[in-house]
Structure 1
Amino acid sequence: MSDIIRRDPRKAWIARNRLHPEHASVLAELGMGDAQPTQWMGPNGVMRKDPHRVGFIGPAGIKRIDRSGVQGAPGQVQARSTAAQDTRTTVLIAEPAFHIVVVPDMAGGRLSAHDRDLLGLARQMADKDASAQGAVVAIVFGEQKEDSWGEAGIDRLLQLRDVALEGYSPEYRIAILTAAERELKPRYWLLPDSSLGGGDLGRRLSVRIGERAATQVWQVDMESETPRCTGRGAAGRQDITRDLPRVLLALAECGEPVSDTRHEAQAIQLQQPLPEQLVRIEDLGAVAVDPASVALSEAEFILSGGNGVQDWDGFHQAARVLGATEGASRVAVDDGFMARDRQVGATGTWVTARVYMAVGISGAIQHLQGIQSCDKVIAINMDPGCDMIKRADLAVIGDSGEILSELVKRVDGLKQENRNVA
C-alpha cells in the first residue's frame, strides 16, 4: 500500500471556508476544531498561515497583527483582545501649557466623522511639543446626544445650553467664541469647513478676532521649523501652502481620529457671564422637506434598494414612513426600478449620509466606493457572506420584504403612541 498522504480537496476547501455550513464538522473530523494552529506546514513544504486567526482587535475596533510570535490559539487571541480593551491609555492634563479650541458641527447632536477627524488633527497639534503639553478644548452649543467625548480626544468640554443656541444664531455664537478667545487665549482655532455651519462660523470668527483664516485645509505640517498648512484652491484643482494661521477651517480626513487613548473631557465654564443675546436674526425653525426631493449627495438618511428587493411598492412605502431619501444600486437602475439619478456608487453618486441602509445589495466594489464616507451602514440581505454585510456596521439576515414591513409597522406604532400622548 502506498504511503503517499492523500487529501480530500473538498474537505480542505470547506475547512478554509468559514461560512460553509459544514465548516465546524469538517474541522472536527480533521482533528483541527478550536485547536487549529495559526500556521502549519502545507503538503508542498510551504508554511501556511491562517490570516483569520492571527491578530487581535485593538481599542479602535481595528484588527492588529502581532508579529512577535506570542499569539497562538484562539483563546490567546481573545485574551489579548480583552486586555487591549482594558488597558487603553487614559490621558489626564492637569495644567495645560496652551489650548487648541475645536468647534465641531455636531450634526444630529453627535460627533460626525468630519468632527472626529478635526479632533484628531487638534490632538496631533496639542501633543507635538513634548515639553509643553497642550489641551484640546471642544465648544459645543445646546443639548447633545454624544457620550464619547473622551474617546474623541477632548481634554476640556465647554457646553453651552442656552435655549437661544438651539437654532440658527451665528451672531450670538460668535459673541460667545469671542469671549472664549479673551479668556482661554487658544493657540489655534479649528472648525470644520462644511456647509453645516462650521464654514460660516469660522469665517465670521476670523474676521471678529482679526485673523486671516486658512480654508479648505487638508494637511498640516508641524515638523518643519515654521508650521505650515495646505488647503484646496481654485475650486479644488490646486493646493495652496502657507504658514499656519491661528484659525483653520479644515476638510474631512484632515487628520486621523483618536483611537488609542482616552481623555478626561473635563467640563469647564467661562468665568465671565455669557454676552447678551443678539436678536437681529429670528430663527423660524426648520422647514419640512420631502426626502424624495433631496439630492443623494446631500441626504443624511438613505434607503437604497438592489437586486434583492422583490416588493418595490413596499420599499417605497418604507422610505416614506422612515423619512429616507431613496437610492439604488446599478442593477436596480439598469432594470428600470429606479431613475438614473438615484444610482449610488462610483459610477453614480458618491454619498456622505449619516445613515445608509442597503436593502438587497450584495456590495459591488463600485457601490462600496460610493458609500465609503457614510457614518453608519445598515445592510439587509439574505446572503451572510456578501461584501455589503462585511462592510455594514449593523447587518440583518433575512427576507427584505418581511423586515421592511415589520419595520414600517413598528415605526407607525411609535408615531401613533406619540400622537396619543400629545
Structure 2
Amino acid sequence: MSDVIRKDPRLAWIARNRLHPRHGELSGQPLRGPTGLLRKNPRPQWQYGPSGLRRLDRANLQAAGVTTLVRRASEQPQLPLHRVDNPQHYIAVWLPLSGGRLTAHGKDVLGLAQQLATAQHQATAVLGLVCGELKESIEEAGVDRLLQLDGVEGYQPEAWTELCLQADSDFQPLHWLFPDAGESAELGRRLAVVLGERPATGVWKWEGEQLIARSGAGHQDVTRPLCRVLLPLEECAMPCTEYRYEAQPVSFEPGSLPAARVQDRGRVAVDPADIPLGEAEFILSAGNGVHDWEQFHRAATLLGAAEGASRVAVDDGFMPRSRQVGATGTWVSARVYIAVGISGAVQHLQGLGKVEKVVAINQDADCDMVKRASLSAIGDSHEILAALMALAEEQPAREVSNAA
C-alpha cells in the first residue's frame, strides 16, 4: 500500500475552493517575468470538477503542479477526530444501504444532520440507525453514535417502525431524518403518523427555523417551519469531509417486535440487459478501444453489469443507441462505472456527473477519462478484461459487483 499513488480528493477540492483557508497553499503563486512583472498565461488552462466537466483553471492550478494534489497512500493526512462527549441531545438519521454500503443520498442527509447538530447550544450527537451489515467504514460519513439493528432481515416496515419508536423513547432525538427515497421515505412517513407529527417531505435546504421543500412534482418551492421529522432530498447538504467521526456503537435492547405481514422472499434476479441505464447501479461501458466485443459481452454477463457504450461505439454499430452514455445519450447515476477503452469526450463525461466511482481501463494514461476516474488500469483492455474475468469466476457475479 505504501507504493500506491492516489489522488487526494480533499486536496483537489481545497484547490478549487477559493474561500478555503488552505487554498493559497495549493493554488500556487502568480508567475513573474525576468523584470519582476506579473505575467499571465494567455493560453486557457483547464481543470476537471467533481462532475467531470472541463472548466477554466482560474485558480492557476496547472502552475502549482498536479503533483501537489497527489499523494501516496502512506502519506494521506489523517483528518482530525470530531468528538461529542456526553451528548445532551441527538439528531437521529436512518441510514440507507446499497450492497452493504452507505448511499450518496445518505451521506448528504448526514451532512444536513451535522449542520443541525452544530446549531444546537448543547452537545448534540448524530445518531445513525442502520439495519443490515455494513461492509465499509463510515467514520468519515458524519455518524457520532451508531445504532446497529440486528435480527430484522428483509422488508419489514412494521418492525422498523417499532424499532424507531423504541429508539425515540430511549434517546428522544430532536429531529428524525429519513432520505426521501425508497424504503426510507416510506418508513419516515410511517413514523411521523405514529408520532403524530407532520413530516416535511422533499426538503432540499435548511435556513435557521425554516425549511425549503420541493412540491408540485418538483416544479415549485414551499417554505415551512422546521419540524421534527424531515425527509430530505439528494444534495440537501454537502457531505462531511472535514473530520473523522467516532461512529461509536451504543447499547440498545429492543423489545418485542410485531410479526411481519409481508413475507420477503429476497430480491428477484433481473437480467442486467433489461435494466435501463439510468437506473443501473453497475455499468460496464465500452468505447473505441474495445476490439474483442465477444469478450466484452462475456465480461458484462460474468460481472452482472449493465452494458453501456460511448457514441463512437454506437455510431460504428457495435452497440444499440439505447446503450449510449453521455449528454447525447443517457445520463447515468451508477454506483460503479467501468469505462473500457473510452478516452472521455466532454459529452460523455457530462453523462457521468452523478456516478460515485469511475474505473478507467485505457492505454493512454493522460486521457480525460483517467483524470475523471477514481481508479485507473493502464494497459491493453483485452488483457485487463481477461484478468478481471478470471477473478470473477472465483466468486459469484453479485459479490463481484458489490466488491467493485
TM norm structure 2? 0.80
- Residue 31 of structure 1 corresponds to which residue in structure 2? none
| SS across alignment from 1:346 | coil
In structure 2, what is the Cα distance between the partners aligned to 1:254 and 1:77? 28
Offset, 1:76? 9.9
Q: 1:38–1:49: 8 Å Cα contact kept in structure 2?
A: no
Percent identical = 50
Offset, 1:75? 11
1:293 matched to 2:274? The reply is: yes
Q: Which residues of structure 2 form unaligned runs of 5+? A: 1-27, 42-58, 400-404
In structure 1, what is the Cα distance between the partners aligned to 2:178 and 2:223? 18
Cα 1:190–1:337, aligned 2, differ >3 Å: closer, same or farther?
A: same
Q: Which amino acid aligns with 1:85?
A: P
1:339 matched to 2:330? The reply is: no
Number of aligned residue pairs: give it: 349
C-alpha offsets along residues 52-83 of structure 1, whole Å, 9 cap, x if unaligned?
Answer: xxxxxxxxxxxxxxx9xxxx99999999x999
In structure 1, what is the Cα distance between the partners aligned to 2:67 and 2:368? 27
- Residue 157 of structure 1 corresponds to which residue in structure 2? 146
| SS across alignment from 2:218 | coil
Offset, 1:117? 0.9
- Residue 196 of structure 2 corresponds to which residue in structure 1? 210
The structure 2 residue matched to 1:138, chosen from 128, 139, 146, is 128
The structure 2 residue matched to 1:367, chosen from 348, 362, 373, is 348
In structure 2, what is the Cα distance between the partners aligned to 1:369 and 1:191? 29
1:41 matched to 2:28? The reply is: no
Q: Which amino acid aligns with 2:134?
A: Q
Highest RCO, 1 vs 2 (Cα 8 Å, sep ≥ 6): 2
After TM superposition, the structure 1 stretch with the greater mean CA deviation from structure 2, 358-367 or 89-98, is: 89-98
- Residue 222 of structure 2 corresponds to which residue in structure 1? 240
C-alpha offsets along residues 317-370 of structure 1, whole Å, 9 cap, x if unaligned?
Answer: 110010000111122122221111111112221111111111111112222121
Q: Which residues of structure 1 form unaligned runs of 5+? A: 1-36, 51-66
| SS across alignment from 1:402 | helix
* Structure index of larger Rg: 1
In structure 1, what is the Cα distance between the partners aligned to 2:68 and 2:347? 37
TM norm structure 1? 0.77
1:304 matched to 2:296? The reply is: no
- Residue 25 of structure 1 corresponds to which residue in structure 2? none
Q: 1:38–1:73: 8 Å Cα contact kept in structure 2?
A: no
- Residue 401 of structure 1 corresponds to which residue in structure 2? 382
Q: 1:112–1:375: 8 Å Cα contact kept in structure 2?
A: no
Offset, 1:303? 0.4
1:108-119 mapped onto 2 (5 Å cutoff): 108-119=99-110
- Residue 190 of structure 1 corresponds to which residue in structure 2? 177
Q: 1:353–1:373: 8 Å Cα contact kept in structure 2?
A: yes
Q: 2:370–2:376: 8 Å Cα contact kept in structure 1?
A: yes
Q: Which amino acid aligns with 2:231?
A: L
RMSD: 2.8
| SS across alignment from 1:136 | strand
In structure 2, what is the Cα distance between the partners aligned to 1:327 and 1:182? 48
- Residue 176 of structure 1 corresponds to which residue in structure 2? 163
Cα 1:403–1:73, aligned 2, differ >3 Å: closer, same or farther?
A: closer
- Residue 263 of structure 2 corresponds to which residue in structure 1? 282
- Residue 119 of structure 2 corresponds to which residue in structure 1? 128
Cα 1:145–1:274, aligned 2, differ >3 Å: closer, same or farther?
A: farther
Q: 1:176–1:275: 8 Å Cα contact kept in structure 2?
A: no
| SS across alignment from 2:190 | helix
In structure 2, what is the Cα distance between the partners aligned to 1:82 and 1:385? 24
- Residue 77 of structure 2 corresponds to which residue in structure 1? 85
C-alpha offsets along residues 139-198 of structure 1, whole Å, 9 cap, x if unaligned?
Answer: 001221122x33211111100121xx2211111111100111122111111111112x21
